């Protein structure tokens, strides 16, 4: 298959999990379990997974480890889900591996009637594991797709550390309608005797603690409000190194967004654990360790997460749930005080637009409700306007992202910026419009 054919094949696969790890387990067994050929750090949670994965992969690479990164969703191209030391998989490699795995997928289905064939995400995950083994990486940083318990990435067992960024409402139709249920799903990525790092500060924390205790796993808890660290069932010497992290993050982290401080602190704890297990004694030369971190943090970028394009007066954020909306509004008010915002908003039908808009909109803001192109069901702009009426009187609707972006620049004045939110698809289409029609900014 060429690249286009590979994408067509992947998109033809079921979008729904079989609600079992049996398929991916059998598939990877046939490949001699490439996912355990190298150690991994597993990162789950509701918000902040992607940023945490990117930061940690970048840091490990800067400590001279050949580091694989598997994340999602992509913004422009499917190959963006896979990196080794910051370089995406080529379309040729992606297509070659897809062809190999497609043949195996078909073969197993023919040989075993109980093998139902991989879902699209299971297939994407298998590509990562196969490519990383083929390239003989030193360590991988793996993002959970959704939940944890039955997520295809949860097949890994060679785990250095586990991160659960937080537990908030999202994907309730699958993960459950309470924080406790959602946390129960996410906590299943905790492995026996393996450090778990979290900034969870709601009912989910009790669940995570119970899983950690049952797995004899030390747990490091970051308070997202005070940034203080609590160590449960682990070495309290962590506090001695952790004291160095907050000033380092405050001075050097390039990623914008107040929430990134908490994400980064969790990442640095995971880094410390991983390097220790990879036989690097940090305490022996702590100043050098901190210098590498400072240089690395100052270079990291991650599109679509509080990404401000100053010359175009637009901020892109894939915010798509209530907790993300709360964090986004706090960051907007912090970085852009006394500024009014023009929001471009579109979202999938399984999201909660009223909850998101309640946390985002202020009476003086403008909302331009719109719709992006996708096979999945999305809200119509007119429906989003109905949800927004309680929170702002300044409401408009447009049929697509291009029209919404054009209108937003016509309305823009000196005391405003545009904020495009609701999905990675919004980020993608806005970016494409800005590249194709840069004149609309002027």
Per-residue DSSP letters for 138-191? SEEEEE-SSSSTT-GGGG---EEEEEE----S--HHHH-SSHHHHHHHHGGG--
Query: Which of 79-83, 170-174, 320-324 has the weakest average pLDDT?
Result: 170-174
351 against 234, higher pLDDT: 351
Query: Which of 172-176, 329-333, 435-439 has the weakest average pLDDT?
Result: 435-439
The proportion of the chain whose per-residue pLDDT surpasses 70, expressed as a percent, equals: 98
- Reading the block at residue 388, the tokens are 């927004």
Grade residue 18 by pLDDT with cuts at 50, 70 and 90.
low
Asked whether the predicted pLDDT for residue 414 surpasses 80, the reply is yes
Rounded Cα distance between 321 and 260, Å, is 17
Mean pLDDT value across residues 323-338 = 96
Beta strand 67-70 with 82-84 is: antiparallel
Beta strand 314-316 with 307-309 is: antiparallel
Beta-bridge partner residues of 229: 222
| Predicted pLDDT at 238 | 84
The CA-based dihedral angle spanning residues 235, 239, 240, 243, taken in that order and rounded to the nearest 10 degrees: 160
Of 354, 422, 428, 426, which Cα lies nearest the Cα of 392? 354
Cα separations in angstroms, 11 against 1, 124, 140, 351, 367: 14, 11, 25, 22, 33
| Predicted pLDDT at 72 | 94
- Reading the block at residue 197, the tokens are 């790092």
Q: Are 183 and 200 in contact (CB under 8 A)?
A: yes
Phi and psi at 343, nearest 5°, equal: -95, 125
DSSP 263-325: HHHHHHHHHHHHHHHTT--TGGGHHHHHHHHHHHHTT---TTSSEEEGGGTEEE----SHHHH
Rounded Cα distance between 196 and 207, Å, is 13
| Predicted pLDDT at 34 | 98
Of 357, 359, 335, which Cα lies nearest the Cα of 345? 357
Q: How many CB atoms lie within 10 A of CB 366?
A: 21
Rounded Cα distance between 318 and 162, Å, is 24
Domains along the chain with CATH numbers: 3-297 (3.40.1190.10), 307-441 (3.90.190.20)
Q: Are 371 and 346 in contact (CB under 8 A)?
A: yes
Mean pLDDT value across residues 145-171 = 96
Residue where the block lists tokens 């298959």: 1
- Reading the block at residue 184, the tokens are 């129960």
| Predicted pLDDT at 17 | 61
Q: How far is CA 122 from its chain centroid? A: 17
| Predicted pLDDT at 114 | 85
Query: Which of 12-26, 146-160, 334-348, 379-393 has the weakest average pLDDT?
Result: 12-26
What's the chain's length in residues?
A: 442
Query: Which of 15-19, 72-76, 216-220, 343-347 has the weakest average pLDDT?
Result: 15-19
Mean pLDDT value across residues 419-438 = 90
Rounded Cα distance between 422 and 394, Å, is 18
Q: Are 47 and 169 in contact (CB under 8 A)?
A: no
- pTM beyond 0.85: the answer is yes
Query: Which of 59-68, 195-204, 276-285, 404-413 has the weakest average pLDDT?
Result: 276-285
Burial class (CB in 10 A: 0-12, 13-18, 19+), 202: middle
């Amino acid at each position: 298959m060429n690249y286009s054919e590979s994408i067509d094949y992947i998109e033809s696969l079921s979008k729904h999990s079989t609600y079992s790890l049996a398929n991916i387990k059998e598939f990877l067994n046939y490949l001699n379990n490439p996912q355990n050929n190298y150690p991994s750090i597993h990162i789950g949670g509701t918000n902040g997974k992607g940023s945490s994965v990117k930061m940690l992969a970048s840091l490990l690479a800067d400590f001279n480890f050949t580091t694989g990164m598997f994340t999602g969703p992509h913004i422009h191209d499917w190959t963006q889900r896979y990196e080794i030391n910051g370089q995406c998989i080529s379309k040729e490699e992606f297509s070659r591996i897809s062809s190999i795995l497609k043949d195996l997928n078909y073969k197993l289905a023919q040989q075993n009637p109980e093998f139902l064939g991989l879902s699209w995400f299971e297939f994407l995950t298998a590509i990562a594991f196969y490519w990383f083994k083929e390239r003989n990486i030193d360590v991988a940083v793996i993002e959970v797709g959704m939940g944890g318990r039955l997520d295809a990435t949860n097949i890994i067992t060679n785990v250095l550390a586990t991160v659960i960024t937080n537990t908030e409402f999202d994907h309730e139709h699958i993960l459950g309608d309470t924080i406790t249920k959602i946390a129960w799903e996410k906590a299943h990525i905790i492995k026996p005797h393996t450090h778990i790092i979290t900034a969870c500060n709601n009912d989910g924390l009790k669940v995570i603690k119970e899983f950690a205790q049952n797995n004899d796993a030390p747990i490091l808890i970051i308070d997202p409000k005070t940034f203080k660290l609590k160590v449960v069932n682990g070495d309290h010497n962590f506090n001695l190194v952790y004291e160095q992290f907050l000033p380092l993050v405050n001075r050097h982290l390039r990623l914008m967004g107040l929430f990134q401080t908490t994400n980064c602190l969790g990442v640095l704890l995971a880094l410390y654990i991983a390097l220790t297990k990879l036989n690097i004694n940090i305490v022996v030369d702590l100043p050098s360790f901190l210098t590498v971190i400072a240089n690395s943090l100052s270079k990291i970028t991650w599109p679509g997460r509080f990404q401000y394009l100053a010359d175009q007066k637009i901020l892109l954020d894939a915010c798509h749930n209530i907790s993300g909306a709360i964090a986004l509004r706090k960051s907007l008010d912090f970085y852009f005080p006394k500024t009014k915002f023009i929001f471009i908003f579109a979202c999938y039908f399984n999201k909660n637009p009223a909850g998101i808009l309640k946390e985002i909109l202020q009476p003086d803001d403008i909302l331009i409700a719109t719709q992006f192109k996708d096979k999945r069901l999305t809200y119509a702009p007119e429906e989003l306007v109905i949800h927004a009426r309680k929170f702002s009187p300044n409401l408009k609707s447009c049929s697509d992202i291009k029209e919404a972006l054009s209108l937003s620049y016509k309305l823009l004045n000196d005391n405003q910026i545009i904020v495009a939110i609701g999905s990675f698809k919004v980020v993608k289409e806005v970016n494409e419009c800005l590249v194709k029609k840069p004149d609309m900014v002027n």
